[in-house]
Structure 1
Amino acid sequence: MKITNFKVSKYRSITTSKTLDLQGMSVLVGPNNEGKSNILRALVVGLESIQQAGTQTKAARRAPLGSFMYRSDDFERYRWERDYPLALQDKEPNSSSTFEFEFELNERDKEDLKESTGHSLNETLKIRVLLKRGGAAEIKVVKRGPANAAINANVAKICDLIQRRVRVEYVSGDRTSEETLRLIRREAVGALAEVSASQEYRDLLNRLKGLSEQALAPLQGRLNDEMQDLVPGVQNVEISVSRFTEQVHRRDFDVSIDDGSNTLLSMKGDGIQSLTVIALIRALAKRSEDVTYIMAIEEPEARLHPQAVRRLHLKLQEFAEEDQVIITTHSPVLVNREDISANILVSRNTAGPARSLESIRTSLGVELPDNLLSSDLVVLTEGSFDSEVLSTVLSRASQSIGRALSAGRLSFADSGGCSNIHYQARLQRDALCRIHVVLDSDKAGRQAAEKLRREPWFLDRDLTFLVRPDADGTELEDLFSEDDLAGMIADEFGVDIDLYDANPRHDFSTRMGNRFRAAGKVWDSSMENNLKCRVRDLACARDRIQPVEEVRPLISNLVSDIERKLALRVER
């Protein structure tokens, strides 16, 4: 059972929200004080009110059908005087905050619903929660038609099913060791309750009681003598340890973490404390196959190093594959790039799905160079020559790539050399751009690729090497035929390359360097740069030179990679 959409109205600063589609991982973004936290809290408050209704006993259900008293031990309870919009309280003294959920049911959920209520639902279950003044909660199943009254007669059983199948863990922005310990105590008490039912536990408890009485006997005797001396009417004084069982259940639990220095969690830094509570929720979820955990976190990036934020993002995505994650954030690292609509923009106390990366950047205050303001995808190359040539070649090969370039959705960026590829890739990713890296298949290119591939956020699918069949190394210039370049090289550099043999396995720079030197010409970095400039000019001139036949499959595959990434953009 998972939540597929949610809507709230008249809760704190949120007067109304659009119906928010919730994915495996949903991200609430927006400036400060615009309502992100209130939407997250509204989801938790509404869901916990359903779960509370599901756990109340029959004796507590003497109120009218569908009405319950809302309370919560682990989360701040709803209070109308504080949580209903202050500006509306005088005008609407009898109105309620409204929370609407739509749950997706799996086959087991449907079977259990049928067995407990006698009613069948196809795919989804819609629940409306009204939280009223005085602490009452009215919960209804939203269903049209004649079955509405009958299914709402079983609303308590439906709430019970939800509380057994869905569990929400709220993690506030102020994540402390105490919050982690609270969760651990809750789980540990449950585990100890099972142990306390065993005979072995009771025997040990009696043994402990006996040892305690034996240790206290001398003190008890001395106290007894003194009391009888002072108060002659006293016959006996007994010192005993009371409520051994409850003591064990209520004991405090300490957590220590050894990360090179074994230290109590309360003494660790804020970053470790923050990550520990998230790790604990992940651990709880792994033991419960039939329960969907909803991790609701305020600003998970708080107090974390940027590298730790990137790793956390990957782990939250893994969690969201089976369960659900809903976060508020100011970090572009945590934005969902694959499904734009999974990002919810919160502004002026209203909320709705994002429609473009540009709108998310604006909401987060991400500033980009003018040429990247609307880019969804940035192709990173080693140098400016590579960017110019590839953009020309690929736009000729694909109309959709050409249109994306013209519209600014696609950009080719010069990294300024292999050594800068890693930095530029991370920079573009943090600026909410998808990336695709194109590298020469020489030593420098492969070293740059290895550095990228060590990053948990970088995927191999986002890398293309320029490869020429049967060559030890390949540069961009190797994509073009030497026959098409020979005339230009002879006219402008005075070298007839056809007169000199060259090892075809060598890359362009090595082959040309050997020929220039054999012809008695200067060959240095300046000459190499000049020659590559002229190759770029020919490649970018309309219909002058084309890639050689043997690399056209490589070009076609690169075109497909880029087209797929461009197609991931969601516009509604």
Structure 2
Amino acid sequence: MVNDLVLDREAARLPYFINRLQTSDAHGHRKLCEWVQRIFPDVSWVQSTPIPNNVFALYCLPHGPEARRQDLATPIGRMGTGIGNVVAILYVLLTAREPQVIAIDEPNAFLHPRALRELLAILESEGKSHQFILTAHSADVLTAVDTSTISFLDLENSATVVKQATREKLHTIRGELARLGISVTDLHGKDRVLWVEGQTEELVFPEVLRYACPEIAAGTAVLRVERTGTFEKKNGMPPDEIVSIYERLSTSAGLVPPMICVLLDAEKRKREDKVRIELQSKNRLRFLDRRMLESYLIEPHAIHAALKELGCECELAQVEAALSGFDLSREAEIDGAKVLEQLFSAVSNATQEFRKTRDVPTLVSWLIANNPLHLDPLRDFLRRILLVTSS
């Protein structure tokens, strides 16, 4: 029995459903076309047109309807299987009123790595009420989404063995792979690189970017810069030379994508010094607008949660009382690391010490999940510099 409300599994009636969408929900249809263009930049519009025998035909256009270039419409059947599959997936994502289990088998088989990353980024941000099951042989899927569980299927003694890894375990696996030199391979297919100052920033900025700049997060690799102090002229290397080194690395042999910028802590640098260095580097060297990353994370509830995770039996009031002893009025000048070190020691009676690589990821994750407004200054700053620089 044909159900006029639900797209069939083979998507054979997709043209009919797209026609109904564009006539009854123009806003939804435009949203669908925007998603399609993110995945396939050369396709600006998807439309369904009635043809003889009471059927519909689906077409792709390089321009929106305002261009009035119907002569450029191409039947979707001539565009390859990838775009038809994507339109069907996005239609279900857009119109499903109840949570769905959506299985996508080997998306790498019909999508370019960049297109796949954009599709997965859309599914991750827009499909939070649904469950997606992806099967793939490529690591592109692992690097494009922050999946909750990964299952590895291996054939051992004529039997399929399933091994699962949680999100936390995956972070550990990636660290071990990096020791084997796999990080360069992971960069394959990435669109851009954001260089950051240290190991902690390298760990947390992928999550920060998914929150602050989802438009570029999926295709951005975050790497840490070595010897960040060398960009100072007094150490013998002017800004344009350090930029030249990293841009040369980014373009060598196609192994490393172009960089967005090198993002560094402001530390105690004067505003005029930061402006001078940024100008001399043509904005390839950028500074946080606060002293360091930790300076954005001073929030009592998050700190209390981090201490509790370490097994510290403390109350929120203790954290708030300890925090009241610091002058936090000049946010740009707060030494966030020092504040956190003293807080952890004071509240835990010196039984716990603040460890940047362990505790900053906890603070960032807690704030994104529970109090994202506290990170708005960081989000606004990153959007201001990264989206302009990467465009």
TM-score when normalising by structure 1: 0.28
**Structure having the higher Rg:** 1
Instruction: Name the structure with the higher helix share.
Output: 2
TM-score when normalising by structure 2: 0.38
